[in-house]
Structure 1
Amino acid sequence: MTTSISYEPLDWSTIVDPYPVYAELRDRAPVFWHEQMQSWVLTRYPDCRDVLRNHELWARDLRRLGAEVPDERLNIQYQDPPEQAKLRALIVNAMRTPDTRDICRRARPDLEGHFERLGDREEFDLMSEVAAPLALQITCDLVGVEPPALETYVRIFEGLTRRMDSGLDPSHAEPGEKVGLELHAMMKAWFEQTRLPGMIASLRESPHTKSMPDTYVRNTVSAVFNASYSTVYASTGAVVLTLLEQPHVLDQLRDRSLMATGVAELIRFCSPAQGTSRVATERTRIGDTTIERGESVVTLFAAANRDPEYFERPDELVLDRSPNRHLGFGWGPHICAGAQLATDWLCELIEFLNEQPQELTLAGKPVYMRSATLRNLESLPVRLVH
């Protein structure tokens, strides 16, 4: 199906609530050409899942189609199997060295401290005053570095997030490149200087890493660093807002037996990640639509996660949903590097909110960042009710 349809990802109404738009796309044009993005857009679960898991037909690495990518810009985020397999395995093992659950538990006293410090205020911003410092602390603990100034990394994160939308707004490309270079320089210094336990130490000591180009390893850790920060930060805002809007859900999650399936369901329901792209390595078909070699597709997995053909009662939170093969963190060899960390953090956060003697409530209207690839709260005004 190639029906022409209006879809403006950076329109404010779409950013604030994309789900009615996604429902219309699934019904009217599940596969359609988006002129501005120069891509086919997919909205149904089977189509998105099949693209994400079939790396032979759908490439992330544009070198497979003749594009030139300088070696100094390579990382496993842009490579496909089997080239990415060796370093990805090392990254996964390095993330297990500082157990992600332990990292989140270590952040619990700081979470409590933020709430104690802010509790007497008439209102406070959960995103800038709680989510951002904790996301940076957790990520630095994972990687094994001392945290940089919060305002410095928030600026880098915002620039990298907007750069992902440069196909929709080209003005974001150059500033995004500049903050990307800033992160790479920061990572180079960390690899040279840090002696803290964590991912960098694990990779630096591995004999397998020594055979790889330094820039390739550092670029990969930079990608992991930003993926971890952005996933923890954005998912904190998305999940807390959902729980404030549906307080009965938080109460139901007092039942510990629901925690694992409940967190997975929250990720399906409100994951900040909206989609990603791939390129066809050969001519193929999706439904009635022919995709030519070299053409891009955007998999809108936030739309796929509400597909009624796959998820029963897709617009409701079903805390014991099982199985729940959502695409909230993507799928396959390029699944989000911060997925397990974010999952563990959300469990810790929900436990904390349920143990709080004070009730957290909305104190104003949430404000979203103007970004499409990552649907991310910029501000979430809240208050604690004694």
Structure 2
Amino acid sequence: MSPRSAPGGAAPPGPAHLDPGELSRVDLADPALLASDRRYAVWDQLRRHRPVHWQPVADAGTARGFWSVTRYEDVNRVLADHVCFTSERGTLLNLLGRRDPAAGQQMAATDPPRHDRMRLPVQRAMSASSARRYVQDVTAGVRALLADHAAGGSFDAATVLAGLPLVVVGPLLGVPVADWPDLTRLAGMCTAEDDPAYQLPEGAEATLRRGHRELFAYFTDLARQRARRGGEDLVSLLLRMEVDGEPLGRGSVVSNCYSLLLGASVTLPHVPAAALAHLAGTDRYARWAHRPDLLTSGVEEALRWASPASHFMRVARRPVDLSGVTVAAGEAVVAWLGSANRDPAVFAHPDEFDVRRAPNRHLAFGAGRHYCIGSHLARLALRLFFAELFATFESLTPDGEPVRVRSTFLSGYQRLPLVGWPRRRDDS
């Protein structure tokens, strides 16, 4: 069986032309914009002409809108500067103008110094050396995901990849395999509530509320079971933790389990999907597959390229100067990671997927004290996935139009139809 070529896969999705005058009409809170490649043109023009841009938003609670930052330097500053910016008043656009109910309980929504005391024990449990304990489990899980398609033919890579987060997080949290499909669905409702595949008939807000409620109920039950029986998983570790001399608290345990699942559900499926959407039907897939020495740098490039978390939000604690613009105390600032990771001031030829790229100081995992606590495990899982994928398929070609997830937060694929061409047994 020889690979088929597919037209249209070779050109990178560089920013199309956008008249600077159109920026006043751009709505960066529109999930349809962020589900299209037009966002690259918008981000490009914002970086050039309005790196700190006010975006009015109707019906945003007490907020009138938010500031957008699109340059790498500003995005890095907003995410890393916990003195000037707080994470306790909402970290995502869907909380704009509302109090974050997880503030002070969930690491992602807690500022230092409490954040640091909460993070340290979990960080030790998820260090690079600890992550290596999961190599066998993750490898077996990845092989199981690919097994039904290893003989070749058409398959939806997005559907296959949807199972990857629980392959990684399931053993870490001690979650039964039978529960993985439901947790995958609920995570989708919480990260892509605007997408038709997840949205309830009652609308996006109802979808988000239902997803939150059911995930919190699930992890509440799981924490109750661990409190009775004990264990060596991360839930048990959280239950044993003390912060400032007091137990972490059941609500905080549940909130952090929720955060970990959502973090994995954002990163793990959509990084490989974005890479494959770009590489399928080109010779670049095969070139990377035959260079195991470029596996690590290639994964870093896939993270930069995908930027699966489009944004994180912070609220200014005090007046702050960003690139000559004063952000008032109490105003929200949305840091667009996907734009920062294509900033030509930092990345040469940013619209090219270069598996040799070095250095690669991408912000896909954030920056500062809130840098993704699961980054070691995520990187390990992605390396194991790509290694197994390259061992399974000689090449991949498109088999229809991909469909992006409709979301202001999640940059990924709802559907990615491919044809797999299996590697011959005698291939090296």
Query: Fold match, TM over 0.5?
Result: yes
Match of 2:108 among 77, 84, 100: 77
Q: Using the TM superposition, give the Cα deviation of residue 160 of structure 1 relative to its aligned residue in structure 2, in angstroms.
A: 0.7
Which AA in structure 2 matches 1:204? L
Matches of 2:71 and 2:128, distance apart in 1: 37
Paired residue secondary structure (1:313):
coil
Matches of 1:82 and 1:26, distance apart in 2: 33
Q: Using the TM superposition, give the Cα deviation of residue 242 of structure 1 relative to its aligned residue in structure 2, in angstroms.
A: 2.9
Say if 1:188 and 1:161 are closer, same or farther in 2 by CA, change over 3 A.
Answer: same
Match of 1:32 among 53, 57, 74: 53
Match of 2:351 among 311, 315, 323: 315
1:58 and 2:85 matched = yes
Matches of 2:348 and 2:250, distance apart in 1: 47
More helix by share: 1
Q: Using the TM superposition, give the Cα deviation of residue 56 of structure 1 relative to its aligned residue in structure 2, in angstroms.
A: 0.5
In the alignment, what sits opposite 2:207?
175
In the alignment, what sits opposite 1:202?
237
In the alignment, what sits opposite 2:24?
4
Say if 1:348 and 1:151 are closer, same or farther in 2 by CA, change over 3 A.
Answer: closer
Q: Using the TM superposition, give the Cα deviation of residue 143 of structure 1 relative to its aligned residue in structure 2, in angstroms.
A: 1.5
TM-score by length of structure 2 reads 0.80
In the alignment, what sits opposite 1:154?
184
Q: Using the TM superposition, give the Cα deviation of residue 360 of structure 1 relative to its aligned residue in structure 2, in angstroms.
A: 2.6
Q: Write the mapping of 1:103-118 to structure 2, written as runs, cut at 5 A.
A: 103-118=134-149
In the alignment, what sits opposite 1:42?
69
Matches of 2:99 and 2:53, distance apart in 1: 28
Q: Is the 8 A contact 2:149 2:155 kept in 1?
A: yes
**Deviation readout 1:164-209 (Å, 9 max, x if unpaired):** 99xxxx9423321222121111112212225554212333345669
Q: Is the 8 A contact 1:98 1:142 kept in 2?
A: no
Which AA in structure 1 matches 2:36? V
Which AA in structure 2 matches 1:59? T
Deviates more, 1:318-327 or 1:273-282: 318-327
Match of 1:124 among 151, 155, 159: 155
Paired residue secondary structure (1:221):
helix
In the alignment, what sits opposite 2:120?
89
Runs of at least 5 residues in structure 1 that lack an aligned partner in the other structure: none
Match of 1:334 among 352, 370, 378: 370
Q: Using the TM superposition, give the Cα deviation of residue 243 of structure 1 relative to its aligned residue in structure 2, in angstroms.
A: 3.0
Runs of at least 5 residues in structure 2 that lack an aligned partner in the other structure: 1-19, 91-96, 196-201, 423-428
Q: Write the mapping of 1:206-221 to structure 2, written as runs, cut at 5 A.
A: 206=241, 211-221=247-257
In the alignment, what sits opposite 2:167?
137
In the alignment, what sits opposite 1:293?
329
In the alignment, what sits opposite 2:217?
185
Paired residue secondary structure (2:396):
strand
1:22 and 2:57 matched = no
**Deviation readout 1:65-93 (Å, 9 max, x if unpaired):** x9866679831111111111111112212
Q: Using the TM superposition, give the Cα deviation of residue 358 of structure 1 relative to its aligned residue in structure 2, in angstroms.
A: 4.4
**Deviation readout 1:42-69 (Å, 9 max, x if unpaired):** 1111011111110000111139xx9866
Paired residue secondary structure (2:334):
strand
Q: Using the TM superposition, give the Cα deviation of residue 235 of structure 1 relative to its aligned residue in structure 2, in angstroms.
A: 2.0
Deviates more, 1:99-108 or 1:37-46: 99-108
Matches of 1:67 and 1:56, distance apart in 2: 21
User: Over aligned residues, Cα RMSD in angstroms?
Assistant: 3.0
Matches of 1:351 and 1:220, distance apart in 2: 30
Q: Is the 8 A contact 2:396 2:420 kept in 1?
A: yes
1:229 and 2:265 matched = yes
Paired residue secondary structure (2:189):
helix
Q: Between Structure 1 and Structure 2, how many residues are aligned?
A: 379
Say if 1:14 and 1:275 are closer, same or farther in 2 by CA, change over 3 A.
Answer: closer
**Deviation readout 1:114-164 (Å, 9 max, x if unpaired):** 433234574221222x21223212211122221343442233112211359
